[in-house]
C-alpha cells in the first residue's frame, strides 16, 4: 500500500508542533512496518530518511492558504496518483477532492480548527473556512479524531458523517520520550540542580495562551524565587513575550525551536510542563512530557481530562485564573513518581496506535 501523508510541515526546520511530530513519527512507524510512505510537505528538496520519502509541494509558506493551494497544484499535476492520501486539515485535501477524485482520502483532526480560525481571523473568514471544511469532510472516506472531545464536536456539527469518525489518538515515541537522568538533562541546558523548572512548549499564538502561562509563572516566582521558566516556540506573540520577560528579574529563557531529541531531554530536565491552551486536540507535548516522567499542569482541553489524575501525574484547572495556584502546588507541595506519570500514557505508544491507523487505511482502500 502506498500512503501519502499530506501536511504543512517542514522536516528541515524543527518547530514546536504536535502535527509535525505526528506526521514524521507516523511515517517512520509505517515505513518500519513495510509500508511505502511519502510525506508531502514544505521544504527545499526531496530526500529519503528513516525508510520514507519526503516530497515538497512548496519550498516555503507564510500562511495555511498557500499550502492548500500548493497541494491543489500537486493534485492537478499528479491526477493519476495511486495510493491513499492522509491529510491533517480538511482544507488541504480540497485539491484531491476536485482533481483526483479516484484517490481515497482521510484526515486526522487535531482539534476543532474552525474555532481557531474564528478566534484568529473573525466571523467572515471563519464562515469561509467552515464551508470548505464541510465540503472536504463530506468527500473524505474516513475522519480520525485525536480525542473523544474532538469526535464529539464533529459528531455534533456533522451528524451525517458519524459513521466515518474514528477516535484514534496521536502516538508517542515511547523510546525517544523516556525519563533521562535528571542531573545530566539539567547539565545539558545549564540548569541549576536546585532550580524549580517550569516548561512551556507550543506555538506562541493566541489559542495556546502563552501570555497567561508566563503570568502564572511570575506569580509563582514572586513566592518562590528559585523557579525558572523555559519557553519553546515561535509565532505572533514571540515579541510581546520577549519584551515582558526582559522587563522582569525573573529568569526566563525563550527558545525558538528544538529538535525532538533535545525536547526529550528538556522534558526530563523540567519539574512540570504547563499547558494554558484554549483549544486543543490532545495536546501531544503533554503526552510526551508524561512519557518522560514529567507531570502536567494545564487547562481542561483535548484528551487531558481523560489522562491527568490530580496528584498522580498533574493538575487541571477549569479557569485560567486557577493556573498559578496549581502550578505552585505542583512545584512545591506535591511529590511526583516518574514511573506513575509514564504509565498513564503507555497506551499511546505508536506500537498500539499505528495498527489502528493501518486498519482504517485498509478499510477505505478495499
Q: What are the two backbone dihedrals, phi and then psi, of residue 67, each rounded to the nearest 5 degrees?
A: -70, -40
202: CB partners within 8 A, 6+ apart? 16, 208, 210, 232, 233, 275, 277, 283, 285
The CATH architecture of the domain made up of 2-171+349-365 is 3-Layer(aba) Sandwich (3.40)
pLDDT digits (tens, 9 = 90+) for 213-252: 999 999 999 999 999 999 999 999 999 999 999 999 999 9
Closest CA to 166 of 98, 252, 79, 86: 86
Instruction: Please state, for a pLDDT cut of 90, what percent of the chain lies above it.
Output: 86
CA dist list (Å): 111 to 19, 56, 115, 117: 11, 25, 9, 12
Mean pLDDT, residues 336-349: 95
C-alpha cell at 21: 511530530
- Checking DSSP bridges between strand 36-42 and strand 314-317, what pairing results, if any? unpaired
Which of 329, 323, 144 has its CA nearest to residue 154?
Answer: 144
Q: What is the mean pLDDT of residues 88-112?
A: 95
Dump pLDDT digits (tens) for 26-44: 999 999 999 999 999 999 9
Res. 14: pLDDT tops 80: no
State how far the Cα of 38 lies from the Cα of 176, in Å rounded to an integer: 23
Q: Which three cell numbers stand for residue 109?
A: 483532526
**What average pLDDT does the segment 173-186 reach?**
94
Task: Find the mean pLDDT for residues 285-308.
Answer: 95
CA 163 to chain centre: 25
Do the two domains 2-171+349-365 and 182-347 of this chain adopt the same fold?
yes
CATH no., domain 182-347:
3.40.50.2000
pLDDT tens sequence across 34-82: 999 999 999 999 999 999 999 999 999 988 899 999 999 999 999 899 9
Determine the Cα–Cα distance for residues 46 and 29; give it in Å rounded to an integer.
Answer: 20
Q: Given this model, what pLDDT does residue 242 score?
A: 96
pLDDT value at residue 77: 95
Q: What mean pLDDT do residues 180-187 have?
A: 94
Domain boundaries, the chain: 2-171+349-365, 182-347
Decide if pLDDT at 129 tops 80. yes
Q: How far is 272 from 338, CA to CA, in rounded Å? A: 11
Give the lowest-confidence range in 16-25, 312-321, 334-343. Answer: 16-25
Q: How confident is the model at residue 115 (pLDDT cuts 50, 70, 90)?
A: confident
pTM of the entire structure?
0.89
Asked if pLDDT for residue 16 goes beyond 70, the answer is no
Which position has the grid cell 503507555? 346
Mean pLDDT throughout 196-203? Answer: 96
- In this model, does residue 112 exceed pLDDT 80? yes
Band of residue 15 on the pLDDT scale cut at 50, 70, 90: confident
Q: Among residues 170, 91, 99, 175, which one has the least CA distance to residue 126? A: 91
Which residues, 6+ apart, have CB-to-CB distance to 365 below 8 Å?
A: 1, 84, 104
Let me know if 290 is exposed, middle or buried by CB neighbors in 10 A (0-12, 13-18, 19+).
Answer: buried
Distance CA 72, CA 98 (A): 8
Name the pLDDT band for 329 (thresholds 50, 70, 90): very high
Least confident of 14-28, 134-148, 172-186, 190-204: 14-28
Question: Which residue is associated with the grid cell 540548569?
Answer: 191
- Per-residue pLDDT at 1: 87
- pLDDT for 102: 94
Q: What value does the mean pLDDT take over residues 313-334?
A: 97
Amino acid at each position: 500500500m502506498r500512503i501519502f501523508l499530506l501536511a504543512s510541515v517542514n522536516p528541515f526546520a524543527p518547530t514546536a508542533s504536535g502535527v509535525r511530530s505526528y506526521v514524521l513519527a507516523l511515517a517512520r512507524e509505517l515505513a518500519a512496518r513495510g509500508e511505502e510512505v511519502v510525506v508531502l510537505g514544505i521544504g527545499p528538496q526531496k530526500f529519503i530518511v528513516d525508510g520514507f520519502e519526503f516530497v515538497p509541494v512548496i519550498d516555503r509558506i507564510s500562511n495555511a492558504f498557500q499550502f492548500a493551494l500548493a497541494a491543489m497544484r500537486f493534485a492537478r499535476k499528479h491526477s493519476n496518483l495511486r495510493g491513499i492520501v492522509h491529510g491533517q486539515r480538511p482544507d488541504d485535501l480540497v485539491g484531491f477532492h476536485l482533481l483526483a477524485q479516484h484517490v481515497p482520502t482521510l484526515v486526522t483532526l487535531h482539534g476543532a480548527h474552525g474555532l481557531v480560525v474564528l478566534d484568529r481571523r473573525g466571523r467572515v473568514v471563519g464562515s469561509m473556512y467552515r464551508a470548505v471544511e464541510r465540503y472536504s469532510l463530506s468527500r473524505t472516506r474516513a475522519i480520525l479524531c485525536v480525542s473523544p472531545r474532538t469526535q464529539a464536536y464533529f459528531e455534533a456539527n456533522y451528524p451525517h458523517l458519524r459513521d466515518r469518525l474514528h477516535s484514534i489518538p496521536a502516538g508517542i515515541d515511547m523510546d525517544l520520550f523516556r525519563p533521562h537522568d535528571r542531573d545530566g538533562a539539567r547539565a545539558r541546558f545549564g540548569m541549576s540542580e536546585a532550580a524549580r523548572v517550569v516548561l512551556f512548549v507550543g506555538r506562541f499564538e493566541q489559542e495556546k495562551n502563552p501570555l497567561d502561562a508566563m503570568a502564572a509563572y511570575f506569580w509563582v516566582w514572586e513566592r518562590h524565587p528559585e523557579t525558572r521558566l523555559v519557553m519553546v516556540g515561535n509565532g505572533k506573540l514571540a515579541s510581546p513575550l520577549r519584551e515582558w520577560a526582559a522587563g522582569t528579574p525573573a529568569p526566563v529563557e525563550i527558545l525558538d525551536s528544538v529538535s525532538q531529541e533535545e525536547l526529550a531531554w528538556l522534558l526530563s530536565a523540567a519539574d512540570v510542563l504547563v499547558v494554558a491552551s484554549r483549544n486543543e486536540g490532545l495536546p501531544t507535548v503533554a503526552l510526551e512530557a508524561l512519557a518522560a516522567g514529567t507531570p502536567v499542569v494545564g487547562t481542561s482541553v483535548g484528551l487531558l481530562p481523560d489522562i491527568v489524575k490530580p496528584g498522580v501525574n498533574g493538575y487541571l484547572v477549569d479557569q485560567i485564573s486557577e493556573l498559578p495556584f496549581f502550578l505552585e502546588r505542583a512545584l512545591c507541595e506535591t511529590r511526583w513518581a516518574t514511573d506513575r506519570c509514564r504509565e498513564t500514557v503507555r497506551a499511546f505508544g505508536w506500537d498500539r496506535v499505528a495498527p489502528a491507523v493501518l486498519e482504517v487505511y485498509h478499510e477505505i482502500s478495499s
